[in-house]
Structure 1
Amino acid sequence: MWINGVAATTLPAADRSVQFGDGCFTTARVLRGEIQFLSEHIARMQRAVSVLHIDGVDWAAFEREMVLAAGQQEEAVVKAVVTRGQGGRGYSSAGCSEPTRIVSVSAYPVHYHAWRQQGVKLALSPVTLSKNPLLAGIKHLNRLEQVMIRLHLDQTDAQEALVVDTSGCLVECCAANLFWRKGNQVFTPDLSQSGVDGVMRQHIIRLIENASPWTLHIVSQPADALSDADEVLICNALMPVLPVAQVDDGHYSSRDLYDFLFQSC
């Protein structure tokens, strides 16, 4: 782990990530020493930092540290965090002038390889996501909703959770974005009110929008919209795309869209 470019494993207790979850992060896949979709990960962090009004990030150093972390790794995960740093009184960010950069590397989750062959099971989570259009889309450090979702998921036999917002509309999974297909029509939840607009979700949207015969729809629909779907997929930057075999009692066997996307994800 590197903090502001220096090998370290401890962070000052006064850092605002510790005090308030004041920051954002991205998680990237490493293949043969290279970070996949590096420019997209940097762009998502820049957008998040802009939303959070964190000034003074050294983006050249941030990217260089991510690349160095990937280094000699054959297949791994690089996590990169920006916090507002230290300073301020209470919630006020006045006096915060030097953001903190944290970059770490860890082993790749090998179970994703098996899940691609077997498909995954989703279970509807009892934890709902709150609506907050200001923070919707970005991967900020306030992840308590996801912690609670994962806590409940660990009590089931499912591999991922299906998550709705407080109005009952589909949003995402615990750590993945969601797509489903009915014929040639492909759907993904509207994330303007809550959820994380992941790098792989953006990539898949671009692929579908530029490919025949698929037509993409960004929608606000309840969980039972999946009941008559031909196919369900989940994705994130690490997976990067996985077929869903089961959602609660519903089963899916088609992989037409998955087969199309797998070659480009």
Structure 2
Amino acid sequence: MYWINGQQHDALAPSDRGLQFGDGCFTTARIVEGKIDLLPWHIERMQQAAQRLLMPAADWLALEREMVHAAESITLGVVKAILTRGSGGRGYSPHGCEHPTRIISRSTYPQHYLQWREQGIRLAVSPVALARNPLLAGLKHLNRLEQVLIRAHLDQTNAEEALVLDTSGMLVECCAANLFWRKGKAVFTPNLDQAGVAGLMRRRVIELLAGSEYQLHSVSEPLATLADADEVLVSNALMPLLPVNEAHSWRYHSRQMYDFLRPHC
């Protein structure tokens, strides 16, 4: 089900810059018992992305109201909110774009996440490297062709997710999730100042670890750093947290940190 600028609709103007150039941002949220998990963070993420993309002011109260409406009476589901620059401008120029387009969609919850939480998952190494671009790093913008290619390659494997490196050979994230690994009491997550998406569940995990016995480090490390990890986890706002059984050729048996985090995610 789709809503565009508050009206139930499934047709976008061909002139919309989200379609023309991927000019916009989005967020994907989990519905639990009619409520949107981490809703204030989702709105904040969209506001920060719009600001960095130099987009005109959006009606944030309307966006939040529309997301809340989409979640009503849904026990478990997904709401996706997209904000484009709207229509206007000539060529790449955003001049004249004054009214951003709000797009809300609702879908069923991916039931396989429930199974993966119990069974754990495998990570393949993607042959697709993310370009390093500090201007857009961290943002969940609409230019997601790298992820489309990563997913296309992942579909040819028997893994559930993919380890993704940047063009300098450093770990960044997974296709649709952030990455954590543990060595003893030290926990590591890739630094996202050059590439990747700063996920909201990543933010939540970082917050939880700050008040724990674990010491978190944001790092730039190659794939080989996972060889001697005790535990690997991936996260996103929908999963929200999954244990990893196997990554590349390495296997992991501990769920110590996963068991600590899971009740709070």
Whether TM-score is above 0.5 comes out as yes
Q: What secondary structure is seen at the aligned counterpart in 1 of 2:179?
A: strand
Structure 2 residue aligned with 1:262:
262
Structure 2: unaligned runs, 5 residues or longer: none
Residue equivalent to 1:119? 120
- Secondary structure of the residue aligned to 1:149 is helix
Runs of 4+ aligned structure 1 residues displaced above 6 Å come to none
CA distance in structure 1 between the aligned counterparts of 2:96 and 2:44, rounded to whole angstroms: 26
2:155 counterpart letter in structure 1: D
Q: Percent identity?
A: 60
Rounded to whole Å, the distance in 1 between the matches of 2:83 and 2:209 is 31
Tell me what 1:45 maps to. 46
Question: Equivalent residue for 1:89?
Answer: 90
| 2: CA distance, partners of 1:132 / 1:5 | 34
Partner of 1:253 in structure 2?
253
Count matched residues.
264
In the TM superposition, 1:201-216 aligns within 5 A as 201-211=202-212, 213-216=213-216
Q: CA deviation at 1:68?
A: 0.1
What corresponds to 2:158 in structure 1?
157
Structure 1 unaligned spans of 5+: none
Q: How does 1:80-229 map to 2 (within 5 A)?
A: 80-211=81-212, 213-229=213-229
What residue number does 2:244 align with?
Answer: 244
Q: Does 1:23 align with 2:24?
A: yes
Separation in structure 2 between the aligned mates of residue 107 and residue 90 of structure 1, nearest angstrom: 37
CA shift at 1:55, angstroms? Answer: 1.1
1:196, 1:105 → 2: CA distance?
A: 22
Q: Per-residue CA shift, 1:45-102, capped at 9, x if unaligned?
A: 1110000011120000000000000011000000000000000000000000000000
TM-score w.r.t. length of structure 2: 0.99
In 2, distance between residues paired with 1:207 and 1:198? 14
Matches of 2:224 and 2:69, distance apart in 1:
45
Q: Give 1:196's aligned amino acid.
A: V
Q: Which amino acid aligns with 1:189?
A: P
Letter in 2 for 1:215: Q
Give the Cα–Cα distance (whole angstroms) in 2 for the partners of residues 71 and 162 of structure 1: 35
Report Cα offsets for 1:12-35 as digits up to 9, x if no partner.
000000100000000000000000
Q: Secondary structure at the match of 1:44?
A: helix
Distance 1:181 1:198 in 2: 19
Q: Deviations over 1:108-160 (max 9, x none)?
A: 00000110111000000000000110100010000000000000000000000
